[in-house]
């Protein structure tokens, strides 16, 4: 390239290559730099019905988020298939920041193992925003069972394998898997009886159809206070602020029993990072606000609020925790 014409040809070709490379990423870059997001209503999709735990959290967040974003934020309940329908709707939505998912352990992690096929892959088709809140589970038993501690319960179960039943709120839920984890760690055999919601599971214990369950505090505490159920342990590493008198499994001499129900915020994969960062910043601030903390604790939820990277790592840890438990239980859903 000794002539001016050679330099001109090279310059044109080089410029064309640069333009082509830049244009491939233009939509995402251009959108990320748009100063007017959001310019319309943002939708929070909850894959469970109104009144469910993720719905309660979503509505608390929506009210405050609308103020922070200066745009309406609405909650859209898309229930069904263990949370898969609504979570799939988030995964398949345009990655433009106007669709946000408020989902839970099952459709974000456990269902990848439990279901033979899913219409989405949460680790590929969704981008984490933040872990929003966690709940302990409480091992509660019928007062008619005649046990007052975890040790007494285990001794009873070992003497009578298969005689007793436990209730859950569905296959693959934390209420199911935490009991399977307890069975695995204690060498006991209890029959699983799934129900469609915690009120039905609690009623089954009080009616004698089942004898125990691992459920969220909201379902258990009123019946414990009424003397109809007995709380034996919480499934967290530390005692719960909601039931400070109830020991952890570690305190009862049984380590490695940790199982929390949790709610996370996600968006479609390929949502511009600038939007994810803005959503994270606003939602974490809402979760850490004292008024929000008070409202969530009133329904036995402990707010978290962390980075997208920390939430992604947490989801992988949960998959590692529950995959062998699901495999051992033999539970599958077509």
Q: What is the set of domains in the chain, with CATH numbers? A: 37-134+261-329 (3.40.190.150), 138-252 (3.40.190.10)
Determine the Cα–Cα distance for residues 305 and 317; give it in Å rounded to an integer.
Answer: 17
Torsion of CA 8, 11, 12, 16, to 10 degrees: 180
**What is residue 25's predicted lDDT score, i.e. its pLDDT?**
47
User: At residue 49, does pLDDT exceed 90?
Assistant: no
Determine the Cα–Cα distance for residues 226 and 130; give it in Å rounded to an integer.
Answer: 36
Q: How confident is the model at residue 35 (pLDDT cuts 50, 70, 90)?
A: low
**What is residue 181's predicted lDDT score, i.e. its pLDDT?**
92
What's the mean pLDDT in 188-200?
Answer: 89
Least confident of 5-14, 110-119, 169-178, 204-213: 5-14
**What is residue 328's predicted lDDT score, i.e. its pLDDT?**
84
Top-confidence residue, 266 or 176: 266
User: What percent of the chain has pLDDT above 90?
Assistant: 68
Determine the Cα–Cα distance for residues 178 and 261; give it in Å rounded to an integer.
Answer: 10
DSSP 8-state class, residue 82: G
Least confident of 138-152, 245-259, 306-320: 245-259
- Taking the whole predicted model, whether its pTM rises above 0.75 is answered as yes
**What is residue 76's predicted lDDT score, i.e. its pLDDT?**
97
DSSP 8-state class, residue 79: -
**What is residue 3's predicted lDDT score, i.e. its pLDDT?**
40
Q: How confident is the model at residue 195 (pLDDT cuts 50, 70, 90)?
A: confident
User: At residue 100, does pLDDT exceed 70?
Assistant: yes
Q: How confident is the model at residue 142 (pLDDT cuts 50, 70, 90)?
A: very high
User: At residue 334, does pLDDT exceed 90?
Assistant: no
Least confident of 145-154, 157-166, 322-331: 322-331
Determine the Cα–Cα distance for residues 156 and 158; give it in Å rounded to an integer.
Answer: 6
Determine the Cα–Cα distance for residues 229 and 225; give it in Å rounded to an integer.
Answer: 8
What's the mean pLDDT in 64-80?
Answer: 96
**What is residue 20's predicted lDDT score, i.e. its pLDDT?**
45
The average confidence (pLDDT) of the chain is 88
Q: Note whether 217 and 242 are within 8 A (CB).
A: yes
User: At residue 8, does pLDDT exceed 50?
Assistant: no
User: At residue 4, does pLDDT exceed 50?
Assistant: no
Least confident of 13-17, 97-101, 289-293: 13-17
Most confident of 173-177, 215-219, 302-306, 328-332: 302-306
Residue where the block lists tokens 């069972």: 145
Question: Helices 26-33 and 4-24 sit at what angle, rounded to 10 degrees?
Answer: 70
What's the mean pLDDT in 127-138?
Answer: 95
**What is residue 330's predicted lDDT score, i.e. its pLDDT?**
81
């Amino acid at each position: 390239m000794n002539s001016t014409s050679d330099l001109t040809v090279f310059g044109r070709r080089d410029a064309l290559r640069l333009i082509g490379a830049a244009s491939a990423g233009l939509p995402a870059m251009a959108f990320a730099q748009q100063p007017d997001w959001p310019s319309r209503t943002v939708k929070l999709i909850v894959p469970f019905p109104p009144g469910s735990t993720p719905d309660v959290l979503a509505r608390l967040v929506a009210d405050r988020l609308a103020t922070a974003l200066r745009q309406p934020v609405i909650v859209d309940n898309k229930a069904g298939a263990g949370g898969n329908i609504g979570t799939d709707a988030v995964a398949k939505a345009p990655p433009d920041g106007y669709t946000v998912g408020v989902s839970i352990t099952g459709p974000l992690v456990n269902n990848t193992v439990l279901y033979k096929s899913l219409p989405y892959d949460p680790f590929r088709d969704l981008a984490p925003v933040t872990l929003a809140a966690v709940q302990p589970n409480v091992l509660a038993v019928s007062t008619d069972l005649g046990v007052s501690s975890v040790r007494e319960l285990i001794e009873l179960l070992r003497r009578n394998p298969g005689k007793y039943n436990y209730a859950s709120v569905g296959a693959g839920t934390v209420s199911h898997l935490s009991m399977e984890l307890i069975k695995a760690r204690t060498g006991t055999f209890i029959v699983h009886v799934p129900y469609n919601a915690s009120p039905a599971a609690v009623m089954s214990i009080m009616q004698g159809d089942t004898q125990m369950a691992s459920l969220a505090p909201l379902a258990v505490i009123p019946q414990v206070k009424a003397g109809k159920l007995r709380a034996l342990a919480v499934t967290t590493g530390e005692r719960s602020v909601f039931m400070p008198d109830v020991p952890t499994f570690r305190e009862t001499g049984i380590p490695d029993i940790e199982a929390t129900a949790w709610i996370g915020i996600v968006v479609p994969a390929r949502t511009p990072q600038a939007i994810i960062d803005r959503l994270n910043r606003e939602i974490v601030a809402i979760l850490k606000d004292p008024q929000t903390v008070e409202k969530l604790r009133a329904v036995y939820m402990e707010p978290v609020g962390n980075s997208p990277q920390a939430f992604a790592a947490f989801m992988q840890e949960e998959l590692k925790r529950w995959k062998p438990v699901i495999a051992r239980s033999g539970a599958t859903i077509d």
